[in-house]
Amino acid sequence: MTDKYTQFVSGGFGRDLARKLGLPQPVALRRYTPGDPLLEGPVVVLGPGSGAESIAAQLLGWGLDVRRNIGGSEKIAALVLALDELADPSALSAPVQAAGQLLRQLKASGRVVVVSRDPATANDPATAAARQAVDGFTRSLAKELRAGATANGVILREGVDAGASSAMGALRFFLSARSAFVDGQFLRVDDAQAVPDGGVRPLDGKVAVVTGAARGIGASIAATLSRDGAKLILVDVPAAGEQLAATANRVGGVALQVDITAEDAADRILELAGTRFGKLDIVVHNAGITRDKLLANMDPARWDSVIAVNVSSQLRMNEVFLASPLFAEGARIVSLASTSGIAGNRGQTNYGASKAAVIGMVRATAPRLAERGGAINAVAPGFIETEMTARIPFATREVARRLNSLQQGGKPQDVAEAIAFLVSESAGGVNGEVLRVCGQNLVGA
């Protein structure tokens, strides 16, 4: 779906008019294309202590133009702020002031990434306060940036060094164009092995199943995982069979027509995976439905069908997958949640409940995946330009597009890129997390 307003204000008369009237001025975001450089321009690493030195050394190893300071008005592609040794809120002033002096030099679609530690594991109130302050600082900074620039954070769990492979994998994602519509968000990382640079085909040799793959976000996920090297089993209901076959043909995948609420859905997926590939490495629970009504008008059929498709089917399938020898060691699961399951949405009590339930399921299942060297995470999209959002009334749609820090709707590709990262070895150490792909809502987180 074309965002004609963004096209109008991208140059000439439209840009001048928007500037004069104080209207939103969204810009075309830098999105990932295989072979593109990670960053185009210098990356400045700031922060006291050994963490900044360790991060700078790792970035130099990637062949980036790394600076510890920069003078004049030279434009920079990214700013990494290492606050992993912060122990008192008063110590935040100097590094953030130094960062603030560089913000005007940040290029369009530039990146700010803050590396800090988990306040939940702090041993004293001052340290906990300082670490939690980083959260409020980073989310607020994200709302100040313009021209498609974003600010996100990597939170180191106990015992994780700033230069650990798991930290660098998350840092690379936030620096890259894969995170175009991720803004004001954090990823916590454990001390696990990761491959920060997985190359242009990081999923080579992996077998993935994507549910709800016939169209929209599901089809984009399939295309992105295929691009990254995965072999695909694509699942959707029989009614979508023609579109499912077309998607499978485009990406070289295998189509499976099955209703995921069926008791034998997981068994059928595993049977196909075993027959064709001998294993299953990746599960993407994308299938979902909406049946919107105000609660006062909600009937049991609307409520029950949304719960059945959006969460109960995932719970049942996960149990079958985890019990199967075909589900490989190191397997990864990603479930589609929604910002409606985090902040709620009028007329979507059933949908919001189902997506919040997905988040609860992911967090509780994470230890079971960790035991086998794998992980489960959730991606929570915000306003994404799809056939479904195209049916929203014009005025409502325009407001929804602009009410985030990037002042535009995301694309299915943005959700797919986040999922492709989370199922890759670059996301080693990321487990039980919820990554919002929403451009950062203007009110709240």
The structure's pTM equals 0.94
pLDDT value, residue 394: 73
**Judgement on whether residues 223 and 306 belong to the same structural domain of the protein:** yes
pLDDT value, residue 442: 59
Whether residue 24 has pLDDT greater than 90: no
Provide, rounded to the nearest whole percent, the portion of the chain with pLDDT above 90: 83
In a domain, 16, yes or no: no
pLDDT value, residue 1: 59
Mean pLDDT along residues 224-232: 98
Whether residue 443 has pLDDT greater than 60: no
pLDDT value, residue 27: 87
Which residue, 349, 280, 347, 268, is CA-closest to 313?
A: 268
**Residue 308, domain CATH:** 3.40.50.720
- The three-class DSSP label of residue 372 is coil
Q: Residue 61 belongs to what domain range?
A: 31-189
Between the CA of residue 419 and those of 182, 221, 332, what are the distances in Å? 12, 7, 10
Whether residue 367 has pLDDT greater than 90: yes
Are 381 and 217 contacting, i.e. CB atoms less than 8 angstroms apart? yes
pLDDT tens for 109-166 read: 999 999 999 999 999 999 999 999 999 999 999 999 999 999 999 999 999 999 999 9
**Judgement on whether residues 182 and 211 belong to the same structural domain of the protein:** no
**Judgement on whether residues 301 and 427 belong to the same structural domain of the protein:** yes
List, edge to edge, every strand of the sheet that includes 150-156. Answer: 66-67, 43-46, 76-82, 106-117, 150-156, 186-189
**Judgement on whether residues 123 and 272 belong to the same structural domain of the protein:** no
Are 127 and 87 contacting, i.e. CB atoms less than 8 angstroms apart? yes
Min mean pLDDT across 106-110, 196-200, 264-268, 308-312 is at 196-200
pLDDT tens for 37-55 read: 999 999 999 998 899 999 9
* Residue in the structure block whose two tokens are 């075909």: 326
Mean pLDDT along residues 415-440: 97
pLDDT, mean over the chain:
93
pLDDT value, residue 3: 67
Q: Give catalytic residues, as residue numbers.
A: 351
CA 171 to chain centroid, in Å, comes to: 13
In a domain, 160, yes or no: yes
State the total domains in the chain. 2
